[in-house]
Structure formats: C-alpha cells, structure tokens
Structure 1
Amino acid sequence: MRPVIQQIGDSFVYSCTFDKAYTYEQFVPEHVLAYQISGQTRIYHQSGEMVLEEGHLLLARRNQFAKSIKIPAEGKKYQCISVVLSTTRLRQFSKANGIVCVEKYSGKKNILLRKDDFWKGYFQSLLPYVDRWSNVSAGLLNLKATEAIELLLHLNPGLETFLFDFADPYKEDLEAFMLNNFQYNAPLEYFARLSGRSLTGFKRDFAGVFKTSPATWLKNKRLSEALYLIREKKQKPRDIYIDLGFENLSHFYTAFKQKYGRTPAEVTTKK
C-alpha cells in the first residue's frame, strides 16, 4: 500500500501509511519544516543520512536531493506533517519585516531543531486541518505558514541566514558533482540547478566534460555501478535498483540485459 500524501493548500503536506516501509526519492526545491508525529523517517541526503524519530523536528534547506524510508511504529501508523517555506513566501516576509541578508549561508542543509512546547503546540494546531482542509480559507493557511517562520526566528534567531539567503547555488565542478549524485532519479533541470547552471549551460558543459549526453552517461554509470555491486559485493538486484536511480526492478533488468547481454542473476555465476 502506498502512503497517503495529502497536500493542504500550497504550504502543508501530511503523510500517513500503515506499510512496514516505503521508499521514494525527491528533489527538495523549497525549505521544508517537518515534524515526525509517529513512526520513523530515515533520510539519505547528499551529505549523509539522518533518522527522524517521533517528536523530532527537521528543517531542510531547498535545492537538494534526498531519499527516504517511512517506517510505522509498533502498533501505530506512520505520520509526518511538513510546512513548505517557499522562496516567494520568505521573500515577502523579509520585505515586510525589513530583513536584509547579505551573507551567503554555508552551514548544514539539514538541521534537527530542539523540541519544545511551542513547536509541539504549533503542529498539534495543524492536525485539524488534515481532515477539514477543504473548508479552510487560503488566508488562514497563509497565517499558519507565516506563524512557522515567526516561530523559527523567535526560537532560533541564528537561522536568519538559512532562511533568507536567496542566492542561487554556486557553479559546481561538474565531474565531481555528477559522480556524487548520479544515483538520484531526477529530471535534468534539477541536476542543472544544483550544479549552478541553466539547463542549456549544463548540457553544454556536460558534453565538454563527459563527451556524451547526460541521459546516456547517467544510464551507463548506474549500470556499471550495479555490475560492480552485484558481481564484487554480492548484492541482490532488488536491494540496489532504487538506490541506483531505477524506477522499478523490471526497468533495471531490461537495461542491464541490453548493456551486458546477460541478466543480473547470470552475472553472479559468470565473470
């Protein structure tokens, strides 16, 4: 069973599942404030991994790749509610409050915030919206999203640069960037944005560095990594295909057979 992911207006996302685990990956285009109501979320991001336990509060910075596993607690469903702090909303807030940030943020992209009664009360106040969100006005939803920004600054004044640095990512070394991020199954526009380039500039620079197209390189890189993991590390295809950016196991088998002329199962018995 896939989880229920409910969008509440343009600022809130509620996720719920009874499944043992559910894995997915995503590009995070905006800042997100996520509260773990019950269960556990294991997050694998570009700088490592982290685990959200019940009651944990995560502030995640925009423009990053992430994969996560949702795990219900014993006898409970998995529940997590997130506030999307869009760049548009943050710009409006900074203008209205005279906040000017000239410093570029250079800290962690994912921060576990200290738990307290303020945050517990705030997220409890959002739960009634989950079942009755269609009857809630856009104005009220905007107030609740703005309240989250006010709370962040009140409880953590040092987050001002995190929130209000609107600069685009610096241009990355493209070869190093792709080698660190090839396993994410994301549109090319997201690779371009995170590497600090327009899509046109990304394709042009990519051809200069790798002498092939991004789509061809990504497919071949993922398959060569799969061959290494299966043949040398004795890993099973079903345990690695998602981690390597393939949409499903059938797609992985087809692509592998086309490239190597044999199935992953045959590779484990022949070198």
Structure 2
Amino acid sequence: MDFETKYITPDIKLSEYTGKTFKTEVMFEHHMLVWFISGETKIILADATYTFNAHDTFLIPRHQLATVMNYPKDGLPHKTVAMHLTTERLKDFYARHKAVGKKVSHSKVYRFIKHPLLESCLASLIPYFDLGADLPTDIAAIKIEEAISILRSIDKSVDGLLADFEEPGKINLADFMERHFMFNMTMDKFGYLTGRSLATFRRDFKKTYHTTPQKWLTEKRLQLAHYQIAQQKRKPIDVYFEVGFENLSHFSHAFKNHFGYPPNTLLDR
C-alpha cells in the first residue's frame, strides 16, 4: 500500500506515502498546519509556488486553491503530521484571547522553517498516534491550542488570518478566473469562491466571456500548456496536471483537437 494514515482525531493525522509521486488539487475547508518529517512537497498557488522539505513547517489558509505534489526523497517516504485548525475551534480560542492586527491576505502560505517551538509541539504528537482509544480525549484539544498559541507568538500577523471567520463574498469574476483557471474544480466550487450560486456564476460568466465556463477553461488550460511545452520545453507528462487536466490521455486528445497536432511535436521544433 502506498498510503498509510493514522489519526489522533479527525483534525490531527500522520500521513506516509511511499509511491513515486502523488498529485492532487485541494481547497481546504479549514486552515491546515503541516510539519514535514521526510520527503518533499511542491505547492502551486495562483500567484506563487512553494517547496517544502524535512523539518519545514507551514500553514495553508482555508479556502486556498492549491495543486499539491508529494514525493519521497533521499530514500525516505513522504511523511507529515497535519493539524486542521477548524473555524469552530478558532472561534472558541479567540473568544478567550484578543486578536491583534488587521485582516491579511489569504493567498499566501505561512512558512516556518525548522522553528523549534512548532517542531517540538508537532513532534510530541508522534507517540499518540498508536494509542487509539487509550488517548485522553482532551489531549488533542490541548495540543491544537498549544499550536495556535505558538503560531501567534512567532508571527504577529497570523491573527489577521486565523481570527477572520468571514465566508467568501462576491468578488470580481474575471480577476478570479484569470488567476485560478488551472485548478480543476467543479462549477459549484468556482461559484462558491466567487461568492455566487451556481446559476449566478454561469450567468455572470456568460456576460463576461460570452461563452460557457467549460469551453473557456479548456481553451485557457490548453494555451498555458502550449506555452510551457513550446517555450519552456517542459514535457507534456510534467504539464498536464498543473494546467488543470485530470489525466494525460484526455489532455493529449484535447490538445490535438484544439491545435491540430499532438503536444509532443512541440518538443521537436
């Protein structure tokens, strides 16, 4: 089995991956704090790309669209401890602690490279994963509260993220789509993140682009793939997922239908 996951609670897990490469697109419902034990992860956002290795710790904001690629490295599996900081738990925390600072952008990943406080907090969870029902029920809550307190102590701006409980409001559709078209999501998700119902999203999209979302998304993804293969000389197998296609065969078929030739021919030019 390539995957093994152990839980203390649904909000705290230890994941191990031993395959070659695992790729996925995610939008987290809650903020997620991750501590790397071994391996490597590449996280691609609309505006930035991050690479994390052993002993790095990072925080991914909720409602953040990301392409995630996980790799074993140096003969060791991809292994992480992840902690979900749920809105319910954060509301309880900030009901007892005053938030400091202003709201901050949700579009960045917070990086805490080899920070001893965070690393010791998350490393101390390792023995708990084998206890199962023998683990006291309040331990998980105590450890999550400890992690939140440490985050606040080492980054004064993090309150602006963690204490912001607003849901996505209606935003400029064109700006959002131009920045996020490569993320392979349902129309419902695109609508939600732009602050719209599905029907309103489709109506506003038609007014903006004079075509359907599906057709526009396919063309934008193919154009980006064409550029990366032709100009950056990247292989189709390294491109298709990052630009929003689920598998290589679908990508190759769509590419040939659109441009009249298969993507591999660009590498010979």
Deviations 1:143-194 (A, max 9, x none): 3323322332344444222210112345433222212211111222332233
2:79 match = 79
Corresponding residue pairs, total: 269
1:147 and 2:150 equivalent? no
Question: What runs of 5+ residues in structure 1 fail to find an aligned partner?
Answer: none
1:93 match = 93
1:220 match = 219
2:248 match = 249
Deviations 1:6-60 (A, max 9, x none): 5542212322123343332211222111111122222222221222222111122
After the TM superposition, which residues 125-144 of structure 1 pair with which residues of structure 2 at under 5 Å, given as runs?
125-133=124-132, 135-136=134-135, 138-144=137-143
Structure 1-normalised TM-score? 0.83
SS of equivalent to 1:104: coil
Question: In structure 1, what residue type is equivalent to 2:235?
Answer: K
| Deviation for aligned residue 1:137 | 5.5
Contact 2:64 2:106 in 1 (8 A): no
Contact 1:27 1:190 in 2 (8 A): no
1:39 and 2:42 equivalent? no
Cα distance in structure 2, aligned partners of 1:123 and 1:208: 48
Dislocated runs of 4+, deviation >6 Å: 267-270
1:16 and 2:16 equivalent? yes
Cα distance in structure 2, aligned partners of 1:46 and 1:167: 21
Question: What runs of 5+ residues in structure 2 fail to find an aligned partner?
Answer: none
Deviations 1:244-263 (A, max 9, x none): 11111122123334444543
| Deviation for aligned residue 1:5 | 4.4
Deviations 1:52-85 (A, max 9, x none): 2221111221111112232333232221111111
Cα 1:226–1:160, aligned 2, differ >3 Å: closer, same or farther? closer
Deviations 1:85-104 (A, max 9, x none): 11122112222x05467943
Contact 2:225 2:239 in 1 (8 A): yes
SS of equivalent to 1:128: helix
2:186 match = 187
Deviations 1:223-244 (A, max 9, x none): 2333444455544321211111
- The CA RMSD over aligned residues, in Å, is 2.9
Structure 2-normalised TM-score? 0.84
Cα 1:148–1:264, aligned 2, differ >3 Å: closer, same or farther? same
